[in-house]
Amino acid sequence: MKFTSCIFAFFLILFYSDCKKPDHSQEMILQEKIDFMGDCNTILGILGNIREFRKKSSDSLLQETLKLNRIAKKQEELTEIWKGKRIFLRSAELVGRPRKISNLDKLNINFSEFLIEEYTVTHPLSGLDGFYVISDKNDLSKKEFLQVRIFRLLKNSDPSVLEIHERTPLEGKIISVHYDGGQNRNPNLFESIYVILE
């Protein structure tokens, strides 16, 4: 009887211990979502309220011109605020060697001295180079796309060049931030942010 009770207790322990094992795949998915949301908030925090002047399909020519002027002024403020500040992203996605990089001619940097990596912030399964932002709090189905392009300048001798991963924490000091409200993207209206790091 004691032997039977011991066997029963043994299997009971195994059963409950197995039930309490964490589902690592679910934990991983949850952590990816948390990291993604945190990175999105970091990018939106850099932009501040400059997105109020993004292009809308209903804008008249006058409204578009006024918004461009406001973005130009806000752009200077963004640079003053963020230049030299450090940024940390938990799960940046490596795009690879960068595509055409716009708006870098004003930085007075000799890019031949650097290797340049391009990253983005996006949902792990989206395959996009940015993320959607809810544009109407009263209607969660209304979303607008924000393209995110992050360029990291690496010295040729930088050992981290050899440690490239598809998705990785990314930290660097901001050199420049550039925002495009979509005015220069006909027929596409999506916004974009470029962040240059060293």
Q: Radius of gyration (Cα) for the chain, nearest Å?
A: 23
Mean pLDDT of 122-142: 83
Per-residue model confidence as pLDDT tens digits over 143-174? 889 999 998 888 765 555 545 557 889 999 99
> Bigger pLDDT: 130 or 5?
130
Q: Please list, in sequence order, all residues whose beta carbon lies within 8 angstroms of the beta carbon of residue 161, skipping any fewer than 6 positions away.
A: 115, 154
- Which H or E run includes 191? strand 191-197
pTM: 0.77
Q: How confident is the model at residue 101 (pLDDT cuts 50, 70, 90)?
A: low
Cα–Cα dist 145/189, whole Å: 9
Alpha-carbon distance of 197 to 82, in angstroms, equals: 11
Q: Domain ranges for the chain, please list them.
A: 23-197
Alpha helices by DSSP H, 20-88: 24-47, 61-82
CA angle 82, 94, 79 (to 5 degrees): 15
pLDDT of 89 above 50 = yes
Return the closest-CA partner of residue 115 out of 162, 68, 178, 75: 162
Nearest to 181 by CA among 93, 75, 102: 75
